[in-house]
């Protein structure tokens, strides 16, 4: 790995870290759990890494490890987004009811 590549990766890391801090400020406690679940779904991006690991040339060991990683990553992505959506669907009902009752 060349040092310029490493430096730019590190720069991206630092900037993304600050961005993350900035994004999650003043979130109402009402949304804490859906937010946790949604960010949970995003780290399902490891599936990209798992696909690359399984696709790389290797032997039976790497194939087995890579396969489990792909299954795990897919569960994380699919389940994470699905369950977050189900949760947020319930939240959506709230403002509608509020209007109807007032």
Partner 1 sequence: MAAPAFLAYLLAAVLFIFGIRRLRSAETARSGNSISAFGMLIALGTTLFITGTLSLPEILAGMVIGGAIGAVSAQKVKMTAMPQMVAAFNGVGGGAAALIALSEFYQTDVLGTRPETLVGSITAVLSILIGCVSFAGSVIAFSKLQDLFLTGSVSFPLQRTVNAVVLLVALLCGANAISGGAILPFLSPFASIAVLFLLALGLGVLLVVPIGGADMPIVISLLNAFTGLAAAMSGFVLSNYVLIISGTLVGSSGTILTRLMSSSLGRPLGKILFASVSGAAAKKSGEREERPVNAASPEDVAALLNYEAEKVIMVPGYGLAVAQAQGAMADLARLLEERGKEVKFAIHPVAGRMPGHMNVLLAEADVPYDRLYDMEDINDEFAETDVVIVVGANDVVNPAASDPEVESPISGMPVLDVKSARHVVFVKRSLSPGFAGVDNPLFYDTEKTMMLFADAKQGLQDIIAAVKSGQ
In degrees, to the nearest 5, what angle opens at C-alpha 56 toward C-alphas 50 and 61? 80
**Using the rule CB under 8 A, is 1 a contact of partner 1?**
yes
Site residues for partner 1, 41-100, by CB under 8 A, read 41-59, 61-63, 65-95, 97-98
**Using the rule CB under 8 A, is 21 a contact of partner 1?**
yes
**Using the rule CB under 8 A, is 12 a contact of partner 1?**
yes
**Using the rule CB under 8 A, is 24 a contact of partner 1?**
yes
**Using the rule CB under 8 A, is 19 a contact of partner 1?**
yes
């Amino acid at each position: 790995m060349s040092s310029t590549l490493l430096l730019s990766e590190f720069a991206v890391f630092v900037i993304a870290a600050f961005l993350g801090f900035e994004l999650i400020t003043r979130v109402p406690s009402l949304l804490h759990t859906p937010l946790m679940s949604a960010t949970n779904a995003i780290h399902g991006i490891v599936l990209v890494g798992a696909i690359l690991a399984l696709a790389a040339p290797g032997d039976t060991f790497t194939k087995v490890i890579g396969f489990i990683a792909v299954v795990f990553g897919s569960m994380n992505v699919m389940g994470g987004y699905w369950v977050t959506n189900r949760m947020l669907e319930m939240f959506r009902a709230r403002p509608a009811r509020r209007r109807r009752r007032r």
